[in-house]
Amino acid sequence: MTSDHLTRRGLLRGSAALAAATPVLAPSAGAAPSTRPPAKEGAPMSPVELTVNGREVHLQLDPRTSLLDALREHLHLTGTKKGCDHGQCGACTVIVEGRRINSCLTLAVMHDGDRVTTIEGLGTAEALHPMQRAFITHDGYQCGYCTPGQICSAVAVLDEIAAGIPSHASADLNKIALSDAELRERMSGNICRCAAYPNIIAAMNDVAKGEKVA
């Protein structure tokens, strides 16, 4: 083997020599102080503007705040309920920009500028929304905990059907038939521990068919 060939032993010897010759840099006594700002405690607040039930609101929120907590804890709209807080029960359903969503699964900052409708915005005690009236007429609840989410969902479901948006239960994608199977499938994300399901479907059928409910 010729001398200009690299050998493993020669390479290791060279690396060791290089390491020994490299000075270790220590901070000098006169080094300029760090310009990095000191770490703040907690997350910085984010401004969020929403139109909730027709009213403009301006909030300063921890960016980790869910839309549900913004509504309940910051705006005191406690009609929207927290059931599971991770997308399984539908108790937190609200309507955002015309579409129903689980408000526990989304951050308030993601909805800056959006229009939000909660159960408080659908109707009032004096002027109930037709879906609220129909739930009363058909006993669409027992304990009532799931009811605000059920009603928001039911209102949005009828809008989805009217807009021709199909579901897994739609036999004809071009013509959505109003059937109990269709309504049940679309409402399947809203759990009712009191099992008021048949009554909820009856209420939705009334509203869909324009029945006058007392």
Q: What would the x/- binding string for ligand FES be over residues 96 to 125, using CB under 6 A?
A: ------x-x---------------------
- Strands 46-52 and 93-96, by their bridges, are unpaired
Among 61, 67, 75, 92, binds ligand FES (CB under 6 A): 92
Nearer to ligand FES, 88 or 124 (CB): 88
Q: Which stretch binds ligand FES (CB under 6 A): 31-39, 55-63, 112-120, 192-200?
A: 192-200
Cα-based distances in Å from 185 to 93, 111, 190: 16, 27, 10
Q: Give the integer Cα–Cα distance in Å for 146 and 154.
A: 12
Please report how close the Cβ of residue 131 comes to ligand FES at its closest, in angstroms: 15
Q: How far is the CB of 106 from ligand FES (least distance, A)?
A: 10
Residues 145-184 that bind ligand FES (CB under 6 A): 145-147
Contact 181, 80 (CB under 8 A): no
- Contacts with 214 (C-beta within 8 Å, 6 or more apart), sequence order: 133, 137
